[in-house]
Amino acid sequence: MGCCKLTGKRFNTANKVSHANNKNKTKQNPNIQRKKIWFAEEGRFVRLQISTRALRSLNRMGLAAFAKKNGIDLNTIR
């Protein structure tokens, strides 16, 4: 799986523990969704791979404010 383009959220490494207390490394992937989001300031859509946590923040703040807060240039993203 990829990583979130807005927050940089990636996979987490964890231990899968059996009943006998054997520990095996495993990956916990974030919930990444491919979304087409309306960028109102430029009047166009932007395709992003974002986590659902970032999607909730986008609904609350707006795309331009969220990108400015995280220091992301949306002009480089198609």
**DSSP state letter for 10:** -
pLDDT digits (tens, 9 = 90+) for 2-39: 788 888 899 999 999 999 999 999 999 999 999 999 98
Q: Which domains does the chain have, with CATH numbers?
A: 12-73 (2.30.170.40)
* pLDDT 10s digits, 44-77: 998 999 999 999 999 999 888 888 888 888 877 7
Please state the pTM of the whole predicted model.
0.75
